[in-house]
């Protein structure tokens, strides 16, 4: 085999390598948002109290509509941390929720005498996002790399 034939074979292999890698990067760029879209997400719920007179703890309820049936999401009561003089800050993570859905939450305060007060006037909502900013950024960078590799592969085919 002559040097010219060997160089042509090497150039052909590198061309196909560039084209193949470009296609893989582009497929990766498409696959990332699709994976994220079907992935379950978490919602962080935060609330604060100013004072807590006779408060034993809290339950959270969730619904898929503001007027819908609210279902309690925490099995155990979230214990009160505040006092009659000062309140406290609370955080609860609602996990493994399907993406692209808006959820409505209702807080219920339980007193030591077993009475309960649902804060129906303070219903709040959260969205589980379908994609996050870092997924879009990673997808865009992957697409750019893929197209750059494809362009390099196409230039290689024109040289040979």
Residue 3 confidence class, pLDDT cut points 50, 70, 90: very low
pLDDT of 10 reads 56
Query: Residue 99: pLDDT above 90?
Result: no
pLDDT in tens, 13-47: 788 898 899 999 999 998 888 777 666 678 999 99
pLDDT in tens, 110-144: 999 999 999 999 998 988 766 677 778 888 999 99
pLDDT of 15 reads 85
DSSP 67: T
What span, in angstroms and rounded, lies between the C-alpha atoms of 63 and 41? 16
Question: Averaged over 39-57, what is the pLDDT?
Answer: 90
pTM for this structure? 0.62
Left if phi > 0, otherwise alpha if psi is -120 to 50, otherwise beta: which for 136?
A: alpha
What span, in angstroms and rounded, lies between the C-alpha atoms of 152 and 26? 14
pLDDT of 1 reads 44
Q: Would you call 134 exposed, middle or buried from its count of C-beta atoms within 10 A (0-12, 13-18, 19+)?
A: exposed
What is the C-alpha radius of gyration for the chain, rounded to an integer number of angstroms? 28
Q: Which has more pLDDT, 82 or 100?
A: 82
What span, in angstroms and rounded, lies between the C-alpha atoms of 118 and 122? 9
pLDDT in tens, 59-93: 999 999 999 999 999 999 999 999 989 999 999 99
Beta strands in 21-149 (DSSP E): 41-48, 55-63, 71-72, 78-79, 89-97, 102-111, 116-118, 124-127
């Amino acid at each position: 085999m002559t040097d010219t034939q060997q160089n042509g074979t090497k150039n052909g292999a590198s061309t196909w390598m560039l084209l193949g890698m470009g296609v893989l990067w582009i497929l990766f760029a498409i696959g990332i948002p699709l994976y994220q879209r079907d992935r379950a997400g978490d919602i962080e719920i935060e609330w604060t109290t100013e004072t807590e007179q006779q408060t034993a703890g809290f339950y959270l309820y969730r619904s898929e509509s503001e007027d819908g049936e609210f279902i309690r999401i925490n099995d155990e009561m979230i214990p009160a941390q505040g006092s009659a003089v000062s309140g406290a800050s609370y955080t609860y993570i609602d996990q493994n929720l399907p993406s692209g859905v808006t959820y409505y939450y209702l807080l219920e305060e339980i007193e030591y005498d077993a009475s309960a007060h649902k804060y129906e006037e303070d219903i709040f909502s959260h969205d589980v996002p379908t994609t996050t900013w870092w997924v879009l950024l990673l997808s865009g960078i992957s697409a750019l790399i893929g197209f750059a590799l494809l362009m390099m592969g196409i230039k290689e085919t024109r040289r040979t």
